[in-house]
Homo-oligomer: A and B are copies of this chain.
Amino acid sequence: MKILHDTILKDGLALSDSILKVDSFVNHQIDPKLMNLVGKEFVKRFEGKKIDKVLTIEASGIAPAMITALELGVPMVFAKKHKPITMDDFYSTTVYSFTKETNYNLTVSKEFINEGENILLIDDFLSAGNAILGLRDIVNQGGATVVGVGIVIEKGFKEGRENLLKEGFHLESLAIVEKMEKGKITLNKLK
Contact = CB atoms under 8 A, between A and B. Distances in A.
Contact of A66 (B63, B73, B80, B109): B63
Secondary structure dominating the interface of A? mixed
Nearest to A74: B32
B15 A86 contact: yes
Number of copies of this protein chain within its complex = 2
Interface residues of A, number: 37
Given A30-B69, A59-B59, 16 more contacts: A21-B86, A23-B109, A28-B77, A28-B80, A28-B109, A28-B112, A29-B77, A29-B111, A30-B62, A30-B77, A32-B76, A33-B73, A35-B66, A58-B58, A62-B62, A63-B76
Interface of A: 15, 19, 21, 23-24, 28-33, 35-36, 58-59, 62-63, 66-67, 69-70, 73-78, 80, 84-87, 100, 108-109, 111-112
